[in-house]
Structure 1
């Protein structure tokens, strides 16, 4: 009798699953039908391949289109993250899975039968060697609830995503190379163009947005010839923009040194090196495997592209957090080494601009780091791009209620959970108070409003940036306030300093 009861329970479970699947949302893509799941009232399609596996002989090649399939493919779980250091890979997806076969994306939509919903494509941060589109903080359901389609994606990271080698220079002499992770992003945007209508989205109304390395990626897409026509608006969060990129030839030298370290004498041998050995060699290489200037994909430095107006003329939102120096604090960077970047004959001017006599060395260094690396480039980009389509400048200063008074400001990256409305995914969720909830609601309105119409809709008027007024939107204490920038003097100094350092580097 017990055996019969067990069999009956199994049969009932199977029938229940079949019934549940029959109610699950489906969508058609160019490669086949996918079946998603309900997520907070939205339809979520997870782990959809946009590229074939870039492993084996495809390691360090441009992404290829995925194979099609017959029947219905389950799209109810995130795909594996792209390989990265395990000790630092936190909250990449439900199981923290990693694989070289990682080129997948995720879609949240309010209605697969809708037509022409705005599309928001998120490019995650992580210094180009960490992160995944399936991280819980990038849950797109809260944004999708505002009648937009949200896409998040994986792209190759570290030396698997940004790599050079003399053999690759020969093999791919006339093709885009080195920036393989960036090429993945382009392939994902092409997938959106070709498939998003099946999820209710409008391929002619696409906003790309990203934070940190994701924001840098958005900057590069603004002037990459490969990205032309693939998006209509852009949001850049905490990206900087003045940091110089190396050239592809520099990456070739770094790659040759790494090949020697793993005892690979040919490109074929290097492609056969087991993944754990590659990651170990990457960790010991001392190289930052970042995007590089490469004629076919990233043809020039960011500042040059902006000055020469080689960028896409699209509406832009750009901003920073007011304590980006949390990065240098985390690295335990000596404050003196940051202050010493200012030439001696400009130190007095710097101290005057920052009223440094009232600051500790750590506070002075924090302010210099935040402004030089993030705030000043953001304002400069807003000013130069505003000569075309409008640019909207902001600064995020919200500190969650439990930390107010204990940290100097909004740390690098903390804005993300407010934009996604995903604070509930954090272990510290209970520490977010009423002001944090209000702040998240406002930012979701701003970001989705921008995606819909090219201008933020926040309940507070947010005019485009104008040099003469030097005003921006401040997000703090559960409110959005458009006001005169209180850091004008400091940012003016940073622009002067950047020009001085650039001239010195050319001598």
Structure 2
């Protein structure tokens, strides 16, 4: 039992493997409130402190996911809970001991800002807490139109903010950790922030918030979905238009969106954006709806902002795009179908695809793959093109900026564990099961396996990240000395497909196409 500012909570005890092979006791607390439920008049409001409670609140059962759309999840979404609720904003804490002062590792789940939950078995923090001697925190935050949007009619009378409520929740969680984690045996002055995909974007944005300056010691952004328009985020004007259109369909004004049923609001919002990108009623938010540039919390898209001047361990997977091309999605079987699917993908960047761009990118990737002896079939080319444009190009370029523009140590990890069929390559989100040591649970065993190699890869990744969370230096048994990342020198750690080694970033030449396309105004 521990006592937070709002009241006492009683958790449970589990056991997980320690580095010496023995099992270690870990205390786990599920569903600990870090803010008041954002329901009723607090929907679209800034986070408020949770009202205090009397007695001891049970915290021994995993809680629901935050309300999110029904139906197929986005490709970046982790496993989703079948149970959702609008008041499901809470934290989960795993600690080796409620006494002491251990580094704190806060993980922000991804899911395209619309899906996902800290309650996923993927993010069970017991193994990472035990192996790394860390206090692990995961949490839910507001998603979809309940978490990310903008409209002045929803201005909070206390904070004056009128956008990005999910990002506000994430900031509130960091503040809660700073004020409450000592009760769980954590060091409030040693907080590492980690996240994957949309969670990786959150890590960057939180690290740049003036109000959190000094609260975050270091960051681990993984497969980061850097916020940009028109692909991921609505422009302010389009966010206003979308809110007004959805309100009109629901028969209310914009403030009246606080009163309608959450499931109905999500359904109508989904219908508004249901068309393919070139049929969207607004020009932005063509892929996922993420944080909106609001002039306060998000003053500009990620690539137009400074990089966080914090120790940073960035992670990119070998084939980020295979999450999008595996499974039941359309597969190109010839060049005509490849061109059609590449064009459809490029439409997330804007309403038109410049002439010659599709053939140009295909030719670029085909020539480099052939020169390296890699597959040049249409599916492999589409996978590389989608993954690089959506994720890898910006991840690598932002890591290079961090190495050039900050004094803080920067590290780049290239994760290349090959998943089992019917998946292929090393897809977006392939890191999470290894980071948390959950690759062997029932829902992941087919894709990731649970043999000696998988356990070694997982232990190495956990040890690297844990060491970094302790003292800014990622190290692990069997890993050669890992220098700070320096562009154009062999300083990237390659992990997953072979014994760990430091070398050049693989497939770096492919990224030059996107430099030319973006600087030339084609994208």
Which 10-residue stretch deviates more, 207-216 or 276-285?
Answer: 276-285
2:234–2:289 CA contact under 8 A, matched in 1: no
Residue of structure 1 in register with 2:144 after alignment: 158
Matched, 1:374 2:391: yes
Residue of structure 1 in register with 2:36 after alignment: 52
Q: What is the distance in 1 between the residues matched to 2:176 and 2:403? A: 30
1:124–1:133 CA contact under 8 A, matched in 2: yes
Q: What is the distance in 2 between the residues matched to 1:499 and 1:242? A: 18
Q: What is the distance in 1 between the residues matched to 2:414 and 2:196? A: 13
2:203–2:221 CA contact under 8 A, matched in 1: yes
Indicate which of 445, 456, 475 corresponds to 2:474.
456
1:88–1:130 CA contact under 8 A, matched in 2: no
Residue of structure 2 in register with 1:414 after alignment: 430
Q: What is the distance in 1 between the residues matched to 2:247 and 2:172? A: 28
Which 10-residue stretch deviates more, 412-421 or 329-338?
Answer: 329-338
Task: Name stretches of at least 5 consecutive residues in structure 1 with no aligned partner.
Answer: 1-25
Residue of structure 1 in register with 2:292 after alignment: 292
1:164–1:254 CA contact under 8 A, matched in 2: no
> What is the root-mean-square deviation in Å for CA atoms of aligned residues?
2.4
Cα gap change, 1:355 to 1:175, in 2 (>3 Å): farther
Q: What is the distance in 2 between the residues matched to 1:488 and 1:324? A: 14
Deviation at 1:166, TM superposition (A): 4.9
Q: TM-score, normalised by structure 1?
A: 0.86
Cα gap change, 1:263 to 1:470, in 2 (>3 Å): farther
Cα gap change, 1:77 to 1:302, in 2 (>3 Å): same
Deviation at 1:108, TM superposition (A): 0.3
Deviation at 1:479, TM superposition (A): 3.1
Q: Secondary structure at the match of 1:87?
A: coil
Matched, 1:84 2:104: no
C-alpha offsets along residues 85-115 of structure 1, whole Å, 9 cap, x if unaligned? Answer: 233478545xx43211111001000011112
Deviation at 1:272, TM superposition (A): 1.1
Rg larger in structure: 1
Which 10-residue stretch deviates more, 243-252 or 105-114?
Answer: 243-252
1:299-314 equivalence runs, <5 A: 299-305=299-305, 309=306, 311-314=307-310
1:474–1:481 CA contact under 8 A, matched in 2: yes
2:201–2:225 CA contact under 8 A, matched in 1: yes
Q: What is the distance in 1 between the residues matched to 2:508 and 2:473? A: 24
Residue of structure 2 in register with 1:467 after alignment: 487
1:57-72 equivalence runs, <5 A: 57-72=41-56
Deviation at 1:336, TM superposition (A): 1.8
Which 10-residue stretch deviates more, 468-477 or 423-432?
Answer: 423-432
Q: What is the distance in 2 between the residues matched to 1:176 and 1:479? A: 49
Deviation at 1:42, TM superposition (A): 0.3
**Which structure features the higher share of helix residues?**
1
C-alpha offsets along residues 399-435 of structure 1, whole Å, 9 cap, x if unaligned? Answer: 24x54xx644112212100000012333343743221
Matched, 1:29 2:4: yes
Deviation at 1:326, TM superposition (A): 2.4
Q: What is the distance in 2 between the residues matched to 1:339 and 1:470? A: 32
C-alpha offsets along residues 8-32 of structure 1, whole Å, 9 cap, x if unaligned? Answer: xxxxxxxxxxxxxxxxxx1121111
Residue of structure 2 in register with 1:138 after alignment: 123
Cα gap change, 1:425 to 1:358, in 2 (>3 Å): closer
Residue of structure 2 in register with 1:10 after alignment: none
Deviation at 1:468, TM superposition (A): 3.2
2:244–2:254 CA contact under 8 A, matched in 1: no
Q: Secondary structure at the match of 2:62?
A: coil
Indicate which of 462, 473, 479 corresponds to 2:499.
479
Matched, 1:352 2:370: no
2:204–2:308 CA contact under 8 A, matched in 1: no
Residue of structure 1 in register with 2:18 after alignment: none
Q: What is the distance in 2 between the residues matched to 1:298 and 1:235? A: 20
Task: Name stretches of at least 5 consecutive residues in structure 2 with no aligned partner.
Answer: 16-24, 274-284, 332-336, 347-353
Deviation at 1:60, TM superposition (A): 0.6
Give the count of matched residue pairs: 466
Which 10-residue stretch deviates more, 236-245 or 331-340?
Answer: 331-340
Q: What is the distance in 2 between the residues matched to 1:92 and 1:433? A: 26
Indicate which of 317, 330, 347 corresponds to 1:321.
317
Matched, 1:336 2:339: yes
Q: Secondary structure at the match of 1:455?
A: coil
Residue of structure 1 in register with 2:450 after alignment: 432
Q: What is the distance in 1 between the residues matched to 2:126 and 2:105? A: 12
Residue of structure 2 in register with 1:112 after alignment: 98
Q: Secondary structure at the match of 2:388?
A: helix
Q: Secondary structure at the match of 1:150?
A: strand
Residue of structure 1 in register with 2:277 after alignment: none
1:207–1:234 CA contact under 8 A, matched in 2: yes
Deviation at 1:478, TM superposition (A): 5.7
Q: Secondary structure at the match of 2:299?
A: coil
Cα gap change, 1:191 to 1:303, in 2 (>3 Å): same
Deviation at 1:470, TM superposition (A): 4.6
Q: What is the distance in 2 between the residues matched to 1:242 and 1:66? A: 30
Indicate which of 513, 520, 523 corresponds to 1:493.
513
Deviation at 1:80, TM superposition (A): 2.4
Matched, 1:208 2:200: no
Q: What is the distance in 1 between the residues matched to 2:98 and 2:403? A: 35
1:438–1:479 CA contact under 8 A, matched in 2: no
